[in-house]
Structure 1
Amino acid sequence: MVPPRFGNPFNLSNNATLAGCAALALWAFLAPLARLAQPLPPLLLTALGFAAGGVLGLAVLAARGRLGALRQSPLAWAHGVGGLAGYHALYFAALALAPPLEANLLNYLWPLLIVLLAAPILGLPLGPRRLAGVVLGAAGAAVLLAGGARFPAEAVAGFACAIGAALTWALYSVLSRRLLGVPTEAVAGFCLVSALLALAAHLGFEALAMPGPRQWLAVMLMGLGPMGAAFFLWDIGMKRGDPRLLGTLAYATPIASTLLLIALGEGVLTWQVAAAAGLVAGGGVLAARA
């Protein structure tokens, strides 16, 4: 995929920021698709999702005669694979070593970190309105995810992995802007290498499993959306759009995912969901107006 042309890179109306918003929308479907893929082990599901996204991306590159985009520097490969594979490895380790509710809450520090890191790394100003917006978004995520959360001392390793995952994804996202010379098409290669690493981890730590027709359908949908196109769109948004606004709007992803699960009969609409949606929407409006 070629990053679209754009005007003002810090305006919601430009194509690149909208591409990042599309990635956030696709990630909302990850949890429902993961439910559809049960009971596949998580590392195997990650490997298959990365592989599906990478193969589809590779097919597009081949059709466009752009396979040369995969020839990148070791730094670009370290950034791409380290971000994709490193984030997922730390996230799954957090879920294994800590209570999932608390691990997921700490993991969702990454949108806040993207906004905060945009200032020292990219030199982008923040301002009180933008900071207020991201704080409202973080509060919304806390209302949604933190009900009854406890942080026992014996799970400190898992909490550290969750924070590490958040920092890894934030750095991967913000530093993408420092690698403007790396075309978005290279993400296909990063996905394929990440798939191999996840497969190796599956073989080492999980019981072997074989997907059935329903699981293969979920894998293909993940490769088309949240573990395929979303990574390409996010790369465009981070490189050419406004990372501060995208970081704030990222808090809408867990809200949208929760609403999708409710629509599928996997939960009920509670005051926490409504309050979280209101806080995130208010934060998004503040950030967009900034």
Structure 2
Amino acid sequence: MATLYGFIAIMMWGVLALLGTYTKEIPAFQLLFMCFFISSLIFVLYKLVTGNFKLIKTDLTLKDWLVGIFGLYGFHFCYFMALKYAQPLEVSLIAYLWPLLFAIFVATKDKQIQAIIGGITGFIGISFILSPSKMFSFNWNDLAGYLLAFCCALIWSSYSWYFSNRAKNKQGENKQKESLSQSIHEIGYFSIFVSILSLASHFMLETSQWQFSSQQLLGATLLGLGPVGGAFYLWQLSLKSGNQLLLSSLSYCSPLFTAIILSSLGLSTWTINIIIAVVMILVGACISNFSGFLIMKLKKKRILS
């Protein structure tokens, strides 16, 4: 069931680029505040529905707090900023190098080689986004967007690895029901702190814009309920109790889903470079996550023969 929660979160992230394009005129820190304020309201709603108004004391260490808050705050700031500089499909594909990096981080010693090969394959795929015309014209806006998107990949793969590794170390200490409650409280607390941090950053660094179009308001609300809010509650639980290998494989559905949505709505066009990038990212995912299984089967056949 926990793996299913993770898959639902992955599908929610598939619409992140779409909703991000509708809200890109909103200042980045202000948008972060709006999204995580809604995410905090999800936590409050959970407390109201369950009738349990007591705040559970989590076993989060200072390091857990820093990783959790920086992961949520840093990833989305970089993502929303990247959308202001580069095309949404290109940003999404680069940001979705995180499952490849996650697979490398969680790979056991006997699977590290294929995880690295898979990661390199994905990076080569991403290089096709940097078409010769863009490379020679050296568009600084595109480059800034690509670098910010790559920061997204680094931040989220590190966040996912850290909390999945933390869950392994504490395996067996909590039942699934307790794990569900802990996960909701952890993300609820993170959301409150990130919303406060985002609001403070907004007032210090940006000019407020509170006159929203209906499209912007709907986009920000859906972001908070889905990919920049609700999805994290599901993902946190899946990292604790789900199948990590399967989750890293399923994560590649998201950029594919993103590409299909954006192209079908006319927000991005399919080019040969983008098609090659998508294919190579998916091939890299297969190498990272499935070749180890095939090698094990071959070894068993040799032993039996």
Provide TM-score, normalisation by structure 2. 0.72
Does structure 1 residue 240 correspond to structure 2 residue 227? no
DSSP 3-state at the match of 1:273: helix
Change (3 A) 1:164 1:85: same
Does structure 1 residue 85 correspond to structure 2 residue 107? no
Change (3 A) 1:28 1:209: same
In the alignment, the residues of structure 2 paired with residue 252 and residue 146 of structure 1 have an alpha-carbon distance, to the nearest angstrom, of 22
| Aligned twin of 2:195 | 195
Does structure 1 residue 146 correspond to structure 2 residue 130? yes
CA contact (8 A) 1:51 1:191 kept: yes
Q: Give 1:140 shift.
A: 3.9
Cα distance per residue 1:11-49 (max 9 Å; x no partner): xxxx33333232222111011112222421222112111
Q: Within 5 Å, which residues of 2 pair with 1:266-281?
A: 266-281=267-282
| Aligned twin of 2:160 | 173
In the alignment, structure 1 segments of 5+ residues that lack a partner are 1-14
The code of the aligned residue for 1:117 comes to F
In the alignment, structure 2 segments of 5+ residues that lack a partner are 171-178, 294-305
The code of the aligned residue for 1:146 comes to L
Change (3 A) 1:83 1:21: same
Change (3 A) 1:135 1:16: farther
Q: Give 1:196 shift.
A: 1.5
- Percent identical: 28
CA contact (8 A) 2:6 2:247 kept: yes
In the alignment, the residues of structure 2 paired with residue 41 and residue 232 of structure 1 have an alpha-carbon distance, to the nearest angstrom, of 25
Q: Within 5 Å, which residues of 2 pair with 1:44-123?
A: 44-68=30-54, 70-72=56-58, 73-75=60-62, 76-91=64-79, 100=86, 107-119=95-107, 123=108
Change (3 A) 1:187 1:69: farther
Which structure has the larger Rg over C-alpha atoms? Answer: 2
CA contact (8 A) 1:108 1:141 kept: no
**Which shows bigger deviation, 264-273 or 194-203?**
264-273
DSSP 3-state at the match of 1:226: coil
In the alignment, the residues of structure 2 paired with residue 54 and residue 125 of structure 1 have an alpha-carbon distance, to the nearest angstrom, of 41
Does structure 1 residue 221 correspond to structure 2 residue 222? yes
Q: Give 1:226 shift.
A: 0.5
In the alignment, the residues of structure 2 paired with residue 58 and residue 142 of structure 1 have an alpha-carbon distance, to the nearest angstrom, of 43
In the alignment, the residues of structure 2 paired with residue 24 and residue 277 of structure 1 have an alpha-carbon distance, to the nearest angstrom, of 17
In the alignment, the residues of structure 1 paired with residue 215 and residue 150 of structure 2 have an alpha-carbon distance, to the nearest angstrom, of 33
Q: Give 1:81 shift.
A: 1.2
The code of the aligned residue for 2:102 comes to I
CA contact (8 A) 2:249 2:286 kept: no
Cα distance per residue 1:140-191 (max 9 Å; x no partner): 4443x33355497x99999876655433322211111244367211212211
| Aligned twin of 1:258 | 259
| Aligned twin of 1:5 | none
In the alignment, the residues of structure 2 paired with residue 277 and residue 159 of structure 1 have an alpha-carbon distance, to the nearest angstrom, of 16
In the alignment, the residues of structure 2 paired with residue 173 and residue 45 of structure 1 have an alpha-carbon distance, to the nearest angstrom, of 23
DSSP 3-state at the match of 2:270: coil
Count residues in correspondence. 270
| Aligned twin of 1:126 | 111
| Aligned twin of 1:4 | none
In the alignment, the residues of structure 2 paired with residue 95 and residue 264 of structure 1 have an alpha-carbon distance, to the nearest angstrom, of 17
Q: Give 1:201 shift.
A: 1.5
In the alignment, the residues of structure 2 paired with residue 135 and residue 251 of structure 1 have an alpha-carbon distance, to the nearest angstrom, of 15
In the alignment, the residues of structure 2 paired with residue 248 and residue 280 of structure 1 have an alpha-carbon distance, to the nearest angstrom, of 11
RMSD of aligned residue pairs (Cα, Å): 3.5
In the alignment, the residues of structure 2 paired with residue 44 and residue 249 of structure 1 have an alpha-carbon distance, to the nearest angstrom, of 31
In the alignment, the residues of structure 2 paired with residue 160 and residue 266 of structure 1 have an alpha-carbon distance, to the nearest angstrom, of 21
Q: Give 1:55 shift.
A: 0.9
